[in-house]
Amino acid sequence: MSEKFVSGFDLQEYLTNGVEGIVTESLRATLKNPKESAFMMKFAAASRAASKKRRKAEDSGEHIPPFLIASITSKCNLHCAGCYSRCNHATTDSEPVSQLTSEEWLKIFDEADELGISFILLAGGEPMLRRDIIEAAGRKQNILFPILTNGTFIDEDYFRLFDKCRNLVPVMSIEGNRDITDTRRGTGIYDRLVSNMEEFVKRKLIFGASVTVTTQNFTEVTSQEFLGGLADKGCKVVIFVEYVPVTAESRELAPNDEQREYLMKEIQRLREEHPEMVYVAFPGDEKSSGGCVAAGRGFFHINSHGGAEPCPFSPYSDVNVRNTSLREAMHSPLFTALRSGDLLLDDHDGGCVLYEKKAQVEALLKDSTVKV
């Protein structure tokens, strides 16, 4: 069944317009960089072709999301305060075992390209630890791969790879100023990020910043001083990730409705007044998209072991892509139940309905006919 949650709301059209908006903003942001602008023009054509594939599938009764999140490793060298991935035990210090190989990930990327998926966000753990997978992603020029990284493993070989493969866009995590960033991520991390930024600018390479928005840094990361400072450092993409409480003790860190509404208004203003950067919010304004866009509505998540999950904040899976195709994973019993029911539309506190309603998600998982 085509994914239309509310009367008169065409989700595929909404998502396609969102993708086109990101591409248009990216083209504007790269106008002064000929090499990057040339790539973005080619990607814009590929993105339009992908949108046509998704629309054709939609008209045939099948919904294909434009985004995918791929956590390509469970290993990370940092212990950031309140990390959802460690609290969910998706990231550990032990050496990873039975994770997807680069060949398996390339197969996923190939199928994503065939389906019309335009963006695959590479996450972890720390994704830069899997150079083999990032090199494989670089070969898929029809897909843009933002790489959500802590920035500590970017070296000369990576700079050369980013220069060669412009579809790879490192997005470095930063929490605000030096004190705020180092308090959450570790001493010296802020200075390392600034050093990386300077090197990216010197080499005329595009990079972005990912900001986890909490009640503690809300004022800082929405300030002109901080965002203007990122622009001055050469940043072209800012991804605002609303903090999702992973424990009862961390609930106070999650932005409230008033702060979330302010953030969305600020992002809209920034898009209009400062087109030199691209601004993305996750999960963003669910009201305008007819509800949560996880579980394959707008995106879904594949963990480092191949489990297809609704979202990184909702780590439940009843199917593994090792045993099935990407297309079949999108139609798993759990995903189908989530999309066909009302759970994604439920009222909730904070930015993630699936985390807030995790008991109900677990109940749906138990009813799934396939277990992994």
Q: pLDDT tens digit string along 87-100?
A: 777 787 777 888 99
Task: Give 4's pLDDT tier (boundaries 50, 70, 90).
Answer: very low
- Are 301 and 310 spatial neighbours (Cβ–Cβ below 8 Å)? yes
Task: Give 351's pLDDT tier (boundaries 50, 70, 90).
Answer: low
**Which residue has 């993708």 as its token pair?**
19
Task: Give 6's pLDDT tier (boundaries 50, 70, 90).
Answer: very low
Name which of 129, 128, 130, 125 is nearest 91 in CA terms: 125
What is the pLDDT averaged over residues 344-364? 73
- Are 197 and 181 spatial neighbours (Cβ–Cβ below 8 Å)? no
Q: Whole-angstrom Cα distance, residue 23 to residue 45?
A: 10
Tell me the pTM. 0.90
Amino acid at 137: A
145-149 vs 308-309, strand pairing mode: unpaired
Check pLDDT > 60 for residue 288: no
The pLDDT tens digits for 229-257 are 999 999 999 999 988 876 767 778 888 88
The pLDDT tens digits for 165-206 are 999 999 999 999 999 999 999 999 999 999 999 999 999 999
Query: In this structure, what token pair is assigned to residue 282?
Result: 């996750």
Distances (CA, A) of 68 to 71, 123, 174, 334: 10, 11, 22, 17
The CATH number fitting domain 65-367, selected from 3.30.930.10, 3.20.20.70, 1.10.3470.10, 3.30.428.10: 3.20.20.70
The pLDDT tens digits for 34-57 are 888 899 999 999 999 999 999 999
